[in-house]
Amino acid sequence: MDRYVRQIASQNIINAFKKISEENALKAHSIILKLKKSLNSENTFTRMNSVIIMRSINNKNLLYDLEKRLAVEKKLLSSGSQDVGIPYVIRELEKSITFYKERA
């Protein structure tokens, strides 16, 4: 049930972003900046959802930020972090990076 609610929320955010980007490019850019900032959140759930949303808005300029964050997440995992959500964030980052590279 929880995953279903997250999917609906993410889809609503994506739809809102697409509508905003058509109407006001400056607001859309500010949303992208907030998404980039949320990649550095302490909360793995926030990071994972940000990555999913970044993949869904289909902006190739985000590839560099995703690759950089993947390196950070892998360092956290190898350093013995107790955060059980890191592998899920890594999985979503890898999916997103692959998605953007296939589209390039």
pLDDT at residue 1 tops 70: no
Q: What is the mean pLDDT of the chain?
A: 90
Sign of the alpha-carbon dihedral angle for 62, 36, 15, 25: negative
State pLDDT tens for residues 42-53. Answer: 999 899 989 999
pLDDT at residue 29 tops 80: yes
Number of neighbouring beta carbons within 10 Å of residue 38: 16
Band of pLDDT at residue 58, cut at 50, 70 and 90 = confident
- For the segment 1-6, the average pLDDT, to the nearest whole number, is 70
pLDDT at residue 2 tops 90: no
Band of pLDDT at residue 98, cut at 50, 70 and 90 = very high
Token reading at 84: 């059980």
Higher pLDDT pick, 85 / 10: 85
pLDDT at residue 4 tops 90: no
Between CA 37 and CA 45, with CA 39 as vertex, the angle to 5 degrees is 125
